[in-house]
């Protein structure tokens, strides 16, 4: 359990730090003064005052923020007793609200972009160190997904699929051809068990997968790891990032349109996945961090208040009307979005706990 907690804190800390550093570095490039770069949320543990930025570490390492120079921040700081000696000239030249629309949008989008880059870098690292999985065209199962038909039927990694509905399946291509073509139909699987070499007959019904439009039972082929060059690792890392981002966007669209039921996970669900990753080893944890980083990037770009995507929508609206929204309206938008975000977090955390209890 201690290893899981440490891994949880490190993974989320890395994701949040990369995200906030993206905002920070782009703000610096845009000539915006950053009053504070905070790692973590809650009460401040310690901080270092740089030339113009306070670098602080907060109590809970599950978030972070940047305080950009603005009239609102100056007012809030003075109300909190901070001694902010900011001239009107500095406010005009280096405040967030006085920069052009495009520069402000770049600052906002830089956080998600940094998470995309982090995910890509981790995939490149994986391929460079561990190699590329090379699937074998044999009828031996490599991995079995939890809560899928194969797992429910008692199939485990290493089992061999000899036949399906009386049709011999000597290789993986013949296995998938049968499964993909019969979604929703009960099928007779002839399985040679890895542990005992005993041949058993199992009835399994493939699920219809909305994305691939075919039947699946939750199995993957066995594979060998093939060493690749650094150049190939970079190529595969970019491909994997694009591929996973595309899959995630399509899944979100399918959830919104009702094609697939919403399956969301909160901190408890993610913690359970990290716990399983800790047990499986370093390569699984690195893969999980890469996947979560890309998830973090895509979700932050959704056009919802309190997220980066919501801020982009507000900025685009201000650009179209050529007039900024009042601070009061922006405050209500942020407050509403934050309340919705908390409500959603509570709901998915409740679902996570129910799933854990009923397992």
Residue-by-residue DSSP string for 265-307: --HHHHHHHHHHHHHH-HHHHHHHHHHHHHHHHHHHTSS-TTS
In a domain, residue 39? The reply is no
- 220 and 330 fall within a common domain: no
Res 27: pLDDT: 95
Residue 57 domain-assigned (yes or no): no
Asked if residue 272 has pLDDT above 70, the reply is no
Collapse the DSSP code of 180 into the 3-class scheme (helix H, G, I; strand E, B; otherwise coil) and give the result.
Answer: helix
- In degrees to the nearest 10, what's the CA dihedral of 85, 90, 91, 97? -140
CA distance 345 to 341: 6
Task: Say whether both 20 and 107 belong to one domain.
Answer: yes
Q: Which band of pLDDT confidence, cut at 50, 70 and 90, is reported for residue 269?
A: low
Cα angle for residues 65, 69, 75 (degrees, 5° grid): 100
Residue after which a domain boundary falls, among 198, 225, 252: 225
Q: Looking at 20, 185, 203, 226, which residue is catalytic?
A: 20
Which pLDDT band, with edges at 50, 70 and 90, does 73 fall under?
Answer: confident
CB 291 within 8 A of CB 244: yes
Unique residue bearing structure tokens 């800390």? 13
User: Residue 304 — very low, low, confident or very high, per pLDDT cuts 50/70/90?
Assistant: confident
Strand partners, 199: 192
Residue matched to tokens 């047990």: 279
Answer yes or no: do 108 and 177 share one domain.
no
Closest CA to 139 of 186, 199, 184: 199
In the predicted model, what is the mean pLDDT of residues 278-301?
86
Q: Is residue 312 part of a domain?
A: yes
| Structure tokens, 54 | 């306070």
Between CA 195 and CA 324 the distance in angstroms is: 68
pLDDT averaged over every residue in the chain: 84
CA atoms in the 13 A half-sphere facing the CB of 134: 7
Q: Are residues 24 and 119 in the same domain?
A: yes
Clarify whether residues 122 and 162 are in a common domain. no
Q: Are residues 122 and 194 in the same domain?
A: no
* 119 and 154 belong to one structural domain: no
Tokens of residue 194, six digits: 């890895």
Among the listed residues 316, 264, 324, the one whose alpha carbon sits nearest the alpha carbon of residue 295: 264
Q: Nearest-CA neighbor of 19 among 270, 298, 345, 265?
A: 298
* 334 in a structural domain: yes
206 and 300 in a common domain = no
Q: Decide if 88 is catalytic.
A: no
Of 210, 225, 240, which residue is a domain's last?
A: 225
For the stretch 37-46, pLDDT in tens is 998 888 889 8
Domain hosting 187: range is: 135-225
Q: Which of 225, 243, 263 is the last residue of a domain?
A: 225
**Residues 156 and 108 placed together within one structural domain of the fold:** no
Taking alpha carbons only, the member of 116, 144, 298, 317 closest to residue 217 is 144
Lowest mean pLDDT among 74-88, 176-190, 211-225, 227-241: 74-88
203 and 107 housed in the same domain: no
Residues 8 and 113 in one domain: yes
Question: What are 135's strand-pairing partners?
Answer: 223
pLDDT tens digits along 88-121: 777 778 888 889 899 999 999 999 999 999 999 9
* Per-residue burial over 265-288, b = 16 or more CB atoms within 10 Å of its CB, e = otherwise: bbebbbbbebeebbeeeeebbbbb
User: pLDDT-derived band of residue 354, with 50, 70 and 90 as boundaries?
Assistant: low
CA distances from 236 to 152, 222, 288 (A): 33, 20, 17
**Which CATH number is 184's domain given?**
2.30.42.10
Q: How far apart are CA 110 and CA 28, in angstroms?
A: 12
18 part of a folded domain: yes
How many domains is the chain partitioned into structurally? 2
Q: In this structure, what token pair is assigned to residue 65? A: 């923020």
Instruction: Report the pLDDT value the prediction gives residue 256, as an integer from 0 to 100.
Output: 77
**Do 140 and 221 have their domain in common?**
yes
pLDDT tens digit sequence for 187-236: 999 999 998 999 999 999 999 987 778 999 999 998 888 888 999 999 99
At 344, is the pLDDT very low, low, confident or very high (cuts 50, 70, 90)? low
């Amino acid at each position: 359990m201690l290893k899981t907690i440490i891994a949880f804190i490190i993974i989320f800390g890395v994701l949040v730090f990369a995200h906030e550093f993206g905002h920070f570095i782009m703000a610096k490039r845009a000539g915006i003064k950053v009053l504070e770069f905070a790692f973590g949320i809650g009460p401040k543990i310690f901080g270092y005052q740089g030339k113009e930025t306070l670098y602080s570490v907060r109590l809970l390492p599950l978030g972070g923020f940047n305080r950009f120079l603005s009239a609102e921040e100056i007012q809030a700081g003075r109300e909190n007793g901070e001694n902010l000696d900011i001239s009107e000239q500095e406010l005009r030249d280096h405040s967030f609200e006085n920069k052009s629309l495009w520069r402000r949008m770049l600052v906002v989008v830089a956080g998600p972009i940094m998470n995309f880059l982090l995910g890509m870098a981790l995939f490149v690292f994986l391929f460079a160190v561990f190699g590329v999985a090379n699937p074998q065209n044999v009828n031996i199962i490599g991995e079995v997904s939890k809560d899928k038909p194969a797992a429910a039927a008692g199939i485990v990694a290493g089992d061999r699929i000899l036949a399906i509905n009386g049709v011999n399946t000597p290789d993986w291509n013949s296995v998938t051809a049968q499964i993909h073509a019969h979604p929703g139909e009960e099928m007779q699987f002839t399985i040679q068990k890895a542990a005992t070499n005993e041949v058993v007959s199992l009835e399994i019904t493939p699920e219809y997968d909305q994305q691939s439009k075919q039947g699946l039972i939750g199995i993957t082929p066995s594979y060998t790891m093939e060493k690749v060059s650094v150049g190939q690792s970079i190529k595969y890392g970019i491909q994997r990032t694009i591929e996973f981002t595309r899959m995630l966007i399509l899944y979100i669209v399918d959830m919104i349109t009702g094609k697939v039921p919403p399956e969301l996970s909160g901190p408890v669900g993610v913690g359970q996945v990290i716990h399983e990753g800790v047990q499986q080893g370093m390569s699984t944890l690195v893969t999980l961090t890469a996947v979560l980083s890309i998830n973090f990037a895509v979700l932050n770009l959704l056009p919802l208040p309190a997220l980066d995507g919501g801020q982009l929508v507000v900025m685009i609206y201000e650009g179209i009307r050529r007039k900024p929204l009042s601070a009061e309206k922006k405050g209500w938008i942020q407050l509403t979005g934050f309340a919705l975000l908390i409500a959603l977090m509570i709901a998915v955390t409740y679902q996570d706990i129910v799933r854990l209890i009923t397992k």
